[in-house]
Structure 1
């Protein structure tokens, strides 16, 4: 009887302990970690030098005087250097007639370089991968690219695969969001994400200014990464995902149409970058930050911003709307140590930096990535991360903010926490002589060759033979 009473008295405590243990165990498995990643670096014979860029522009038959001059000015002001990479067919002079096989080869080169190095470095077998997400926005094939990877690396029959297209430059965060959602319902998972863009079939050969601009900005690149929610691997991981926010303004006509693949007047397919793009990006950016800020900033900063905003409203009450008044500015540096900005172009970096009140030190990784690798679409923020890692900026406990913009129109962002000190030992930036970055004077070779072209030269400037 006494034994029965003793067990009975402890039974509620045992139940509480069991429930608490299961809660904590489930919470542990819901965390999303970045185990490792591998950036893509094409061979040196794919570099776009100043001279070669000029040759590519000159041999485009459909360009007139205005378009030729527009392209040269765009390259001069792009912030892109002459060591970025382009698809093989451009160097073979076939950008006006790429084949389907060219596009497939471009993707297979990316897979072979990134996935094989990543698996070797992490010691993960292809058979251990539970989830595979591939995002290549502008190439759809049959079988899918994710199926090609499964076939090439002989992955398991029960692997969960996702093949994303049309997601634009912010696609890698969409992929990570899918993985994060899966981790919440499945324990001890390993997920691979492959992110890139297919430039081969999307080189525009027409003369629409809103479309030829994409040829100046987008470059070859890509990244493969492995994510996990295994507690046993937590100490080996690089980053832990704290939060991820996605903003989609596709319901707005202006936002939907500002960044879209379409045909020009002659029926040539191209990627249209509209004049409303800056406005659409700004609106999506603001809405994204409104949702993100309460999740990543300390309460004291949110209170300071709230009090400042209310005070300014009271002081400005009754004033004319045309009167320029000071605005309350939130300080994101109170909750963030490092900023990975999407390298959509010089203007994109400058605008985001100004909005967040960032210093030159903060935006140096984004500027150098744009200069060295160009806009590599959805993989661009990972090249920025690679720069920080190689510069040994990332220390355990640091908070890392990533933000990107994409067609739709979308603005996606996330906050990572550095799990261990990162050295960037096997990073593509090491092969780029990272010690020389940033250069004392960031000269643009295109400026020296084409920067003399001015608006008043339009009537005298002649196309080269």
Structure 2
């Protein structure tokens, strides 16, 4: 009798263990496939064309034009980025509702058609649909537009996210991750993009016209699942995700926002406190994610040396020449940083002590595609894959910033060797180029503070700009 009870107890225990691990496996978050958007070549924004667009702005004077010229020269953006179709028409930046609809329709149809074809997943198989476009709202929503186009199921759970800025992509991933915890064996789609067509700033506020130089068209569609049976087909597995929000601080809340200028022109204000706020948000975020991704030995060494420095400074009056920093390379193989701009990339590189090789994917993405807002991270990831850097077992740290102010990060584990050239197929063999100089730097690089005024006047006169 005791033997029977013991066997029964063991069976129940094994069953409970099985159910526990089965439930844990069904809560995993895998990326099956992702597709970045590459617009047609007739939408390429060369540096010369960017200058022509700036010249169309009637409200810009000599000082503003000089400021934008310097911004273009030093932006790190190359000749092959993309703008919305209406920019190339006679009416230019004067967009209509149909321009915005066209920009979104081309993005989602091209990426989703390829994604469904390559993954062999049907639109009717999708259980969750999340779309994030921060600065455009359509009625019906973009999610409804996609559901109607692909005739998806009536019980699909859809979420349309706006106002989250460049960090929206990881917010969408976090939403799917939480949904996976209560729904087993399902598929989810995350679409991330930004509407450029209706958001050109026509004023002359220097803190607002800079965004006209940085942002470009792009987008990405990501197919995720929590089906354990599809693990071997998956590309990445989500290890952890941490979100940091500094919105309670007035300084952080107001440093990056959409507003009207004194003349009533709507645009995006980038305040002087933005770099300091971004550094603070990054520091807070890394402090929270470090224990989840770093080996215990590295954390122990960091805590020990930090305390030794504090004790030495407090009790022995020992001046600290250099603070102890946590070496994230001990827990991370690849750094997928949002290419928000040259200053952002260089700032994070200094903060984390990273090499030029670590930052190459972000720099090349900024050069080739510009800042495509929340979708930029996936172009960076695509570059790593196209360069055959991602091998099974590698760990990829994604870091994104957004208005509010937010810093979000997550760690992906590579589940198989990846070598698809994806959206980089036509150019990856030419990257990194020997030089990231653009024609404006080659043509106007001799301009300095002393001769700037006369130089800009000559440029304006030669280009018939008043």
TM-score interval for Structure 1 and Structure 2 normalised by the shorter chain: over 0.9
* Structure 2 spans left out of the alignment, 5+ residues: none
1:18 aligns with 2:12: no
Cα offset, 1:6, TM superposition: 5.2
**Is the 1:73–1:450 Cα contact (8 Å) retained in structure 2?**
no
Q: How far apart, in 2, do the equivalents of 1:101 and 1:198 lie?
A: 12
Q: What pairs with 1:45-84 in structure 2 (closer than 5 Å)?
A: 45-84=42-81
Q: How far apart, in 2, do the equivalents of 1:386 and 1:453 lie?
A: 36
**Is the 2:129–2:143 Cα contact (8 Å) retained in structure 1?**
yes
**Is the 2:37–2:107 Cα contact (8 Å) retained in structure 1?**
yes
1:134 aligns with 2:131: yes
The equivalent residue for 2:410 is 414
Say what the alpha-carbon RMSD is for the aligned residues. Answer: 1.4
Cα offset, 1:8, TM superposition: 3.4
The equivalent residue for 2:342 is 346
The equivalent residue for 1:165 is 162
Cα offset, 1:93, TM superposition: 4.0
Secondary structure of the 2:423 match is coil
Alignment size in residue pairs: 459
Q: How far apart, in 2, do the equivalents of 1:362 and 1:42 lie?
A: 27
Secondary structure of the 2:212 match is helix
**Is the 1:73–1:453 Cα contact (8 Å) retained in structure 2?**
no
Cα offset, 1:455, TM superposition: 2.2
Q: How far apart, in 2, do the equivalents of 1:45 and 1:320 lie?
A: 65
1:437 aligns with 2:431: yes
Bigger shift: residues 324-333 or 285-294:
324-333
Structure 1 runs of 4+ with >6 Å offset: none
1:114 aligns with 2:111: yes
* Structure 1 spans left out of the alignment, 5+ residues: none
Q: How far apart, in 2, do the equivalents of 1:177 and 1:246 lie?
A: 9
CA deviation profile, 1:393-437 (whole Å, cap 9, x unmatched):
000000001101001100000000000000114x010122x1111
Secondary structure of the 1:279 match is helix
- Seen in structure 2, the aligned counterparts of structure 1 residues 268 and 320 have a Cα distance that, compared at 3 Å, is farther
**Is the 1:192–1:227 Cα contact (8 Å) retained in structure 2?**
yes
| Equivalent residue in structure 1 for 2:373, among 370, 373, 377 | 377
Cα offset, 1:69, TM superposition: 0.4
The equivalent residue for 2:186 is 189
Q: How far apart, in 2, do the equivalents of 1:297 and 1:305 lie?
A: 11
The equivalent residue for 2:37 is 40
The equivalent residue for 1:367 is 363
Q: How far apart, in 1, do the equivalents of 2:113 and 2:296 lie?
A: 44
1:453 aligns with 2:447: yes
**Is the 1:400–1:417 Cα contact (8 Å) retained in structure 2?**
yes
Cα offset, 1:12, TM superposition: 1.7
* TM-score of the pair, normalised by structure 1: 0.96
- Seen in structure 2, the aligned counterparts of structure 1 residues 142 and 319 have a Cα distance that, compared at 3 Å, is farther
